[in-house]
Amino acid sequence: MTWITIVWSMNAAACLTLAGFYFAVWCKQRQRPMYLLFSCSAIAAAAISAFELWMLNSKTVEQYEPLVRWIHVPTWVLTLSFVAFVRLYLRAGRTWLAWSIYGLRTLVLILNFIFPVSINFTAITDIRRFSWGGQMVSVPVGASNPWGLLSTISLLLLLIFSVDAAITVWRRGDRRRALLVGGSMIFGAILAWHVPLVIWGVIDVPFFLGFTYTAIVAAMGYELSNDVARAAGLARELEISEKRLKLAADSANLAMWEWNIVRDEIWITDKGRSLFGFTPSEKLDFDRFRSRLHPEDRESILQAVENSLRTGAEYRSEYRAVLPDGQIRWIVGRGHVEFNGDGKPVRMRGASVDITKRKEAELEAACQRMELAHLSRVTTLGELSGSIAHELSLPLSAILSNAQAAQRVLANDKADLAEVREILNDIVSEDKRASEVIRRLRLWLKKGEVQQQPLQINKVVQDVLELIRSDLINQKVTLETELPRNLPTVSVDPVQLQQVLLNLVVNACDAMAGCNNSQRRLVIRTGIENGGSAVVVSVTDQGTGIPEEKMEQIFEPFFSTKEKGMGIGLSVCRTIIAAHRGKLWAANNFDRGATFHFTLPVAASDKESVTTKNRIG
Amino acid sequence: MSTPSSPTVFVVDDYAPLRRSISRLLRAADFVVAAFPSAQDFLAQYDSGVWGCLVLDLAMPTLNGLELQRILAKTGSLLPIIFLTGTADIPRSVQAMKQGASDFLTKPVNDEDLLAAVRVAIEKNRALHREQAELSEIRARLATLTPREREVLEYVVAGKLNKQIAGELGTVEQTVKVHRAHVMQKMKAHSVAELVRLTQRCSISGR
Q: Which residue of A has its CA nearest to B13?
A: A394
Q: DSSP secondary-structure letter at A178? A: I
- Contact between chains at A429 and B17 (C-beta distance less than 8 A): yes
Query: What pLDDT is attached to residue A564?
Result: 58
Q: Does B206 map to a domain?
A: no
B132 plus B149 within the same structural domain: no
- Specify whether B106 is located in the same domain as B132: yes
Interface test with B, best of A397, A409, A465, A472 (most B CBs within 10 A): A397
Tell me how far apart the alpha carbons of residues A351 and A336 are, in angstroms, rounded to a whole number.
Answer: 10
CA–CA min distance A404, chain B (Å): 6
Give the residue numbers spanning the domain of B61: 8-138
Percent of chain A with pLDDT over 70: 95
| Count of C-beta atoms within a 10 Å radius of residue A70 | 16
The answer to whether B97 faces chain A, any CB pair under 8 Å, is no
Q: Write out the DSSP string of A418-450.
A: HHHHHHHHHHHHHHHHHHHHHHHHHHHH-----
Strand partners, B83: B56, B104
Q: How many CB atoms lie within 10 A of CB A469?
A: 15
Look at residues B94, B122, B138 and tell me which one is the last residue of a structural domain. Answer: B138
Of A404, A423, A473, the CB nearest to B59: A473
Q: Which residues of A touch B107 (CB under 8 A)?
A: 393-394, 396-397
Q: Is residue B1 part of a domain?
A: no
Residue A212 CB coordination number (10 Å): 22
Nearest by CB to residue A470, choosing from B27, B59, B111, is: B59
User: How close is the nearest chain B Cα to the Cα of A384, in Å?
Assistant: 12
Q: Beta partners for B35? A: B11
| Helix (H) or strand (E) segment spanning residue A311 | helix A295-311
Q: B108 and B52 in contact (C-beta within 8 Å)?
A: no
Closest CB from A390, A402, A470 relative to B21: A402
For testing contact with chain B, the best of A393, A399, A401 (most B CBs within 10 A): A401
For residue B18, list chain A residues with Cβ-Cβ distance below 8 A.
394, 397-398, 401
Name the pLDDT band for B3 (thresholds 50, 70, 90). very low
> Cβ contacts (< 8 Å) between A417 and chain B: which residues?
none
Residue A293 DSSP code: B
Asked whether the beta carbons of A168 and A92 are under 8 A apart, the reply is yes
- Determine, for residues A397 and B18 on separate chains, whether the beta-carbon distance falls below 8 Å: yes
**Spatial CA neighbour of A537 closest among A589, A503, A584:** A584
Nearest Cα residue to A16 out of A46, A38, A37, A40: A46
Q: Which of A388, A402, A404 to mutate to test the interface with B (most CBs of B within 10 A)?
A: A404
Contact A373, A499 (CB under 8 A): yes
Q: Does position A611 have pLDDT exceeding 50, yes or no?
A: no
The answer to whether residue B15 neighbours chain A at the CB level (below 8 Å) is yes
Q: In sequence order, what are the beta bridge partners of A563?
A: none
Q: What is the pLDDT of residues A106-117, one digit of tens each?
A: 999 999 888 888
| Domain co-membership, B46 together with B130 | yes
Identify all chain B residues contacting A413, using CB atoms and an 8 Å cutoff: none
Residue of A404, A429, A474 with shortest CB distance to B25:
A404
Across residues A88-98, what is the average pLDDT?
Answer: 89
CA dist., res. A529 & res. A582, Å (int):
12
- Identify from B24, B33, B57, B62 which residue to disrupt to test chain A contact, counting A C-beta atoms within 10 A and taking the largest count: B24
| B118 or A125: which leads in pLDDT | B118
* B22 interfaces chain A, CB cutoff of 8 Å: yes
CB-nearest to A393 from B29, B61, B107 is B107
- The Cβ of residue A201 has, within 10 Å, a number of other Cβ atoms equal to 10
Specify if B124 maps to a domain. Answer: yes
Q: Based on C-alpha coordinates, what's the Rg of chain B? A: 24
The count of domains in chain B is 2
Which residue among B17, B28, B109 sits closest to A405, beta carbon to beta carbon? B28
Average the pLDDT over A159-186 and give the result.
88
Query: Which of B93, B123, B138 lies at the terminal end of a domain, its last residue?
Result: B138
Q: With contacts defined as CB-CB under 8 Å, which chain A residues touch B27?
A: 405
Query: Residue A397 and residue B24: Cβ atoms within 8 Å?
Result: no
End-to-end CA distance of chain A: 99
If DSSP states are collapsed to H, E and C, what string results for A319-357?
Answer: EEEECCCCCEEEEEEEEEEEECCCCCEEEEEEEEEECHH
Chain B residues whose CB is inside 8 A of the A425 CB are none
d(CA A21, CA A53): 24
CA distance A505 to chain B (A): 18
**Using N-to-C axis directions, what is the helix angle for A34-56 and A214-251, rounded to 10°?**
150
Instruction: Give the nearest partner residue to A398 out of B17, B27, B28, using CB atoms.
Output: B17
For the segment A462-471, the average pLDDT, to the nearest whole number, is: 80
Q: Which residues of chain B does A412 touch, with a Cβ-Cβ cutoff of 8 Å?
A: 28
Domains defined along chain A, listed by start? 3-229 (1.20.1070), 252-354 (3.30.450.20), 364-449 (1.10.287), 452-617 (3.30.565.10)
| Residue B36 sits in the same domain as residue B94 | yes
What is the CATH number for B173? 1.10.10.10
Judge whether B186 lies within some domain.
yes
Residue of B15, B24, B87 with shortest CB distance to A402: B24
3-state secondary structure A513-525: CCCCHHHCEEEEE
CB atoms within 10 A of CB B7: 19
Q: Does A400 sit within 8 Å of B15, measured CB to CB?
A: no
Q: Give the DSSP letter string of A228-239.
A: HHHHHHHHHHHH
Q: Is the model's pLDDT at B4 over the cut of 70?
A: no
Tell whether B90 and B132 lie within a shared domain: yes
**Does residue B59 sit at the A interface (CB-CB below 8 Å)?**
yes
Distance in angstroms (rounded) separating the CA atoms of residues B160 and A71? 178
Same domain, yes or no: B21 and B94: yes
Distance CA A550, CA B205 (A): 72
Q: What percentage of chain B exceeds 90 in pLDDT? A: 29
The side-by-side arrangement of strands in the sheet containing A254-260 is A265-268, A254-260, A345-354, A328-339, A315-322
The whole-angstrom separation of Cα A335 and Cα A189 is 54
Task: Give the pLDDT confidence score for residue A43 in this predicted structure.
Answer: 93
Cα(A98)–Cα(B101) distance, integer angstroms: 119
Mean pLDDT value across chain A: 85
Per the CB < 8 Å rule, is B25 touching A386? no
Q: Does B207 fall in a domain?
A: no
Higher pLDDT: A102 or A616? It is A102
| Nearest CB partner across the interface for A401, out of B21, B64, B87 | B21
Per the CB < 8 A criterion, the answer to whether B13 and B22 are in contact is: yes
CA B97 remoteness from chain centre: 18
Residue B188 has pLDDT above 90, yes or no: no
Distance CA B2, CA B159 (A): 33
Furthest CA-CA distance within chain B: 75
The contacts of residue A592 (CB under 8 Å, 6+ apart) are A519, A542, A543, A544, A545
B29, closest residue in chain A (CA to CA): A408
Specify whether B133 is located in the same domain as B154. no
CATH number at residue B22: 3.40.50.2300
Instruction: Identify whether residues B166 and B190 lie together within a single domain.
Output: yes
Contact A394 B25 (CB under 8 A): no
Q: Considering only CA atoms, which of A266, A265, A249 is closest in space to residue A257?
A: A266
Q: Who among A398, A419, A429 is closest to B18 (CB)?
A: A398
B116 interface with A at CB cutoff 8 Å: no
CA-based nearest residue to A353, from A266, A278, A254: A254
Cβ contact A463:A498 at 8 Å = yes
**With bands split at pLDDT 50, 70 and 90, how would you rate the model's confidence at A614?**
very low
Phi/psi-derived region of residue B12, left when phi > 0, alpha when psi is between -120 and 50, beta in every other case? beta
Q: Could you report the per-residue pLDDT of B150-177, keeping only the tens digit for each?
A: 888 888 888 888 888 888 888 888 888 8
Q: Please, which residues have CB within 8 angstroms of residue A613's CB and are 6 or more apart in sequence?
A: A532
Domain contains B21: yes
8 Å CB contact of B15 and A394: yes
Is the pLDDT reported for residue A301 higher than 60? yes
Count Cβ–Cβ pairs < 8 Å, chain A vs chain B.
83
Co-location of B129 and B37 in the same domain: yes
- Quickly state the pLDDT bin for A143 (edges 50, 70, 90): confident
Asked if the C-beta of B144 comes within 8 angstroms of chain A's C-beta atoms, the answer is no
The least confident of A172-181, A418-427, B111-120 is: A172-181
Average pLDDT, chain B: 86
pLDDT digits (tens, 9 = 90+) for A323-361: 888 888 889 899 999 988 888 899 999 999 888 888 888
Output the pLDDT for position B35: 95
**Interchain proximity B17–A426, CB inside 8 Å:** yes
User: Are residues B81 and B63 both part of a single domain?
Assistant: yes
Number of residues assigned to chain B: 207
Task: Report residue B32: phi and psi, to 5°.
Answer: -85, 130
SS3 category, A537: strand
Task: Mark which of B111, B138, B165 sits at the end of a domain.
Answer: B138
Residue B189 in any domain: the answer is yes
**pLDDT band at residue B17 using 50, 70 and 90 as cut-offs:** very high
Q: What is the residue type of A102?
A: Y
CB contact under 8 A, B24 and A470: no
Residues B38 and B134 placed together within one structural domain of the fold: yes
Distance CA B54, CA B82 (A): 6
Q: Is residue B3 part of a domain?
A: no
| HSE-up of residue A36 (Cα within 13 Å, Cβ side) | 8
Mean pLDDT lowest for which of A37-46, A228-237, A343-352, B85-94?
B85-94
Q: Inter-chain contact A398–B87, Cβ cutoff 8 Å?
A: no
Residue A273 three-state SS: helix
Residue of chain A minimizing CA distance to B14: A394
| Chain A hits for B109, Cβ within 8 Å | 397, 400-401
Asked if B111 and A429 come within 8 Å (Cβ–Cβ), the reply is no
Query: Do the beta carbons of residue A97 and residue A104 sit within 8 Å?
Result: no
Residues B67 and B121 in one domain: yes
Closest CA to A463 of A510, A498, A487: A498
Whole-complex ipTM = 0.78
CB contact B100 to A (< 8 Å): no
Q: Does B59 contact A474 at a Cβ distance shorter than 8 Å?
A: yes
Position A397 scores a pLDDT of: 92
What pLDDT is stored for residue A417 in this prediction? 87
Region for residue A253 given its phi and psi (left: phi exceeds 0; alpha: psi -120 to 50; beta: otherwise) = left
CA angle A241, A242, A244 (to 5 degrees): 60
The span from the CA of B49 to the CA of A95, in Å, is 120
Question: Which residues on A lie below 8 Å from B86 (Cβ)?
Answer: 389-390, 393-394, 397, 470
Q: Furthest-apart CA pair in chain A: how many Å?
A: 159
